[in-house]
A and B are shown apart, each in its own frame.
Chain A
Amino acid sequence: MARDTLTGSRIRERRNILGMKQAELARRASISASYLNLIEHNRRRIGGKLLLDIAEILGVEPSVLTEGAEATLIASLREAALRADEAGAELDRLDEFAGRFPGWARLLAESRARIDTLERSVEALTDRLAHDPHLADALHEMLSTVTSIRSTASILAEPGEIDPDWQRRFHRNIYEDSARLAESSRSLASYLEAEGKAAAERGTPQEEVEALFEAADYHIAPLDAGAAPELVAQELGAELSPTARALLRRAFTRYAADAEAMPLDRVMEAVVVTGTDALALAQRFGTDPARAMRRLASLPRTAACGPVGLAICDASGVFTFRRPLPDFPIPRFGADCPLWPLFAALSRPMSVLSRVLQSAGRQSGAVTAIAFAQPSGPPRVNREPVFEAHMMIAPSPPRQSEPAEPVGITCRICPRVSCPARREPSLLGDAAQQGF
């Protein structure tokens, strides 16, 4: 049933919430009870003055009665239903459900969202236990040290004489190894204690760092003022997990290097002329486009060019930095649109790709994206470079001549029917029509 034909259901729902009899509403609206009954069962259309009168009597805006539940609520319910399709939820009556029982519908949608969050936390914790590089390294270090101590102590404990030089050397080795073991076991214990305490309350270490950047509005003033990145990371990241602090140190070291190559006061002056043109800015400072993009994304709100979005991913497509824009969200869990030039750049390293993008299904304006991939470190002999890609997003000028390319945010909520990059059916359409 279409959403705008459910006005009657919403009137009944609202009347019931207020505990008002049908006859009373009919009397106050100056219509017969039988006519109101037909309206409430969606068998008579309602509009004009009668709608305004009834809305006033029921104490709601007329649009609440005509438009019903929020589109996002409908989308959330649809997702909940699809994820548990064995339950046989009546998808064709979704609007009716959300319109008649908005409170229950919100409860269901919020419960589903909560389950999603919890499932992701469980996944992150399981993954951390299985693949935590810090844990693996610490255990490896401890076992290697124990092996050395055990082997050396066995030699010393054996009967018979050992050359005094060897004896001295082995004693020294055992002493050194025991000190190392004490240090690594202490470090491991505090790491596990800290992780255990906070893991359930946090996302991944990457998310912790992202939250810190977001809270600072992506501009870390002390680093622009020349403070040492280690000290700033120590101060701002005091509450982070050890792994997140390590990521933060690396991010701040890069930020500080960018700030040194492109000082804030000069960049603030330059963007008055260049705007968000990262290439022009890079040329002015004799640096690479990736650094110029990072610098644009770290400017204070007062910058003449306005805020820009930025996504940085490694060669496997995993985000290492995200600064979304209101018009261009970047999914947190990596299920983003494969059509973004960010990923095309990885297959065309050292070429600057520029695209005008229009997010499918969004009412917002087009954005200009430039993407660039370059090796993430210095060249090494006989080694393939490992690439890293940057994509900067800025609002498109109003008179953009280049046609916009339709892209999505993530397949799950993308309405495009025919898309060669689609990896899963959208909630917003028929799976068969989408090629599934």
Chain B
Amino acid sequence: MSKRVMLIEDEPNIIEAISFILSREGLAVETHSDGTTANDRLRAVGPDLLILDVMLPGKSGYDILRELREDAATAELPVLMLTARGQSRDREMAERAGVSAFMTKPFSNSEMLETVRSLMARVT
């Protein structure tokens, strides 16, 4: 059975591109674009990896991540965070919220794939 990746991002063309390259890797990709209902959707899908944008409508990626880490069911879920702000304080905020990996936009597809493979390797 394919490993499942959930992508929470509000930019439709980024969603299409990332979905394409991850699907080509043999991963099952589920996408979602609304911050407010993201956690409910996550629990329903139960992915092996979450790719999470920081700036989302309704709720920020940081808030979603904090809530995930407080929930025993998702506390250990690998999370790759995407942001257009790459300053050290943004990285610190993501680390404090419990991120597994952090990528600054614009990233390359190879960087994305490498990071996803590395995080997936941790999933038993």
Interface residues of A (CB under 8 A from B): 139-140, 143-148, 150-152, 154-155, 166, 169-170, 173, 176-177
Contacts and interface: CB of A to CB of B under 8 A. Distances in A.
Nearest to A148: B13
Going nearest first, the 9 A-B pairs with the smallest beta carbon separation are A143-B84, A151-B17, A147-B106, A148-B13, A147-B105, A173-B13, A146-B106, A154-B109, A140-B84
Contact of B16 (A150, A154, A169): A169
21 contacts: A139-B84, A140-B55, A143-B84, A143-B106, A144-B11, A146-B106, A147-B11, A147-B105, A147-B106, A148-B11, A148-B14, A148-B17, A151-B17, A151-B107, A152-B16, A154-B109, A154-B110, A170-B17, A170-B20, A173-B17, A176-B13
A85 B14 CA distance: 58
Contact of B20 (A139, A140, A146, A155): A155
A251 B11 CA distance: 31
B90 to A, nearest CB: 12
B48 to A, nearest CB: 22
B124 interface: no
Contacts, number: 56
B28 interface: no
Q: Secondary structure at chain A's binding surface: helix, strand, loop or mixed? A: helix
Given A140-B55, A177-B13, A150 B106 contact: yes
A147 B107 CA distance: 6
Q: Secondary structure at chain B's binding surface: helix, strand, loop or mixed? A: helix
Contacts of B84: 139-140, 143-144, 147
Contacts of A140: 55, 84-85
Interface string B6-47: 000001011011101100000000000000000000000000
B119 to A, nearest CB: 18
B2 interface: no
Contacts of A144: 11, 14, 84, 105
B108 A150 contact: yes
A151 B21 contact: yes
A143 B11 CA distance: 11
A342 to B, nearest CB: 31
Contacts of B106: 143, 146-147, 150-151
B72 to A, nearest CB: 23
Contacts of B112: 151
Nearest to B14: A148
Contacts of B109: 151, 154-155
Contacts of A173: 13, 16-17
B55 A151 contact: no
A304 to B, nearest CB: 48
A173 B14 CA distance: 9
Contacts of B110: 154
Nearest to A150: B106
